[in-house]
Amino acid sequence: MRRSGGRIVGYGIAGILAILAVGVALLFWALPDANAFNARVEKLFVENDDLTTQAEIKLLEILAQSGTAFSETLMSYRVVIFVLLVFATAMLIAALVFLVMLVGFNRRMAQIERVGIQVNSLLISREENTVYLNNLGFKLTDAAMETMSVLAEARMDDDVLSGSEIEGMISGRKAIDCEEAAGATRIKRLRDTLGNQIVSELLVKNIARRGYMLAIDKDVIKVI
């Protein structure tokens, strides 16, 4: 998903830049030349050398000054247009990035909804006999805590333990001398203890002096 999102962002940015480049080229091509007015005034001077009166010369001077002012104004317009286009490019790229992030977030949320509870962190506190799943604390018995600790150590080593190996590591005996059922019983007790608390924390709430209720939105409930 990250790779596809990166490709989408790359293609989107390239498309935005291409469209804006074409727009800039067409816009600046359509704008008149800043020196066009001055060229016309100069042409008037050349073609009308018989204008000798003071008023006519003054008029030509005014036209020349107007051409200079027009040229400066047009140049300032070009700068303003360029700044606005840069700002628009930045806004479009930011919008595209946020859109991709939103799509990725929605996919992530949909995946979490399909999977159910996803463990992002697991903290085992031996002193408190408590396991913290995603910052939710669950009390365990000493035996369940030992089982959880053994499973956690095995997971960090990418090991898969049989029931006899679990029993052997907890009891200190050799796995060959332990029964598979003993380890399976420890796993069952851990599941029961932890599972009941997870259900109580996330699904079935106990309201003091009132009773029990589901800790979910009533709009998501469907009975078939």
The residue with tokens 């030992």 is 146
Q: Are both 36 and 69 inside the same structural domain?
A: yes
**64 and 140 fall within a common domain:** no
Q: Which of 84, 115, 146 is the last residue of a domain?
A: 115
* Domain stops at, among 115, 130, 153: 115
**pLDDT, position 45:** 65
Structure confidence at residue 106 (pLDDT): 77
Q: Note whether 151 and 59 are same-domain residues.
A: no
pTM for this one? 0.46
Task: Please indicate, yes or no, whether residues 103 and 196 belong to a single structural domain of this protein.
Answer: no
Q: Are residues 138 and 201 in the same domain?
A: yes
The enclosing domain of 167 has a CATH number of: 1.10.10
Residue type, 1: M
139-164 exposure pattern, b = at least 16 Cβ within 10 A, e = fewer: ebeeebbbbbbbbeeeeeeeeebebb
Q: What single letter denotes the amino acid at residue 15?
A: G
CA gap 99, 8 in Å, rounded: 10
- Tally of domains in the chain: 2
* Same domain as 153, residue 54: no
Do 94 and 148 fall into the same domain?
no
Q: What is the DSSP string of 158-182?
A: T----HHHHHHHHHTS-GGGS-HHH
Q: 154 and 105, same structural domain?
A: no
Residues 104 and 12 in one domain: yes
* Sign of the dihedral defined by the CA atoms of residues 213, 219, 220, 223, in that order: positive
Same domain, 81 and 43: yes
Rounded to an integer, what distance in angstroms lies between the CA atom of residue 55 and that of residue 44? 15
CA distance 10 to 188: 50
In three-state secondary structure terms, 121 is coil
Among 72, 90, 115, the domain boundary falls at 115
pLDDT in tens, the chain (224 residues): 445 556 666 777 777 778 877 877 777 776 666 566 666 666 666 666 665 666 666 766 666 666 666 666 777 777 787 788 788 878 877 887 787 788 777 777 776 565 556 677 888 888 888 888 877 888 888 888 888 888 888 888 888 888 889 889 888 888 888 888 988 899 899 888 888 887 777 777 777 777 767 676 767 666 76
Indicate if 127 and 90 belong to the same structural domain.
Answer: no
For 209, the domain range is 122-220
Q: Do 76 and 136 fall into the same domain?
A: no
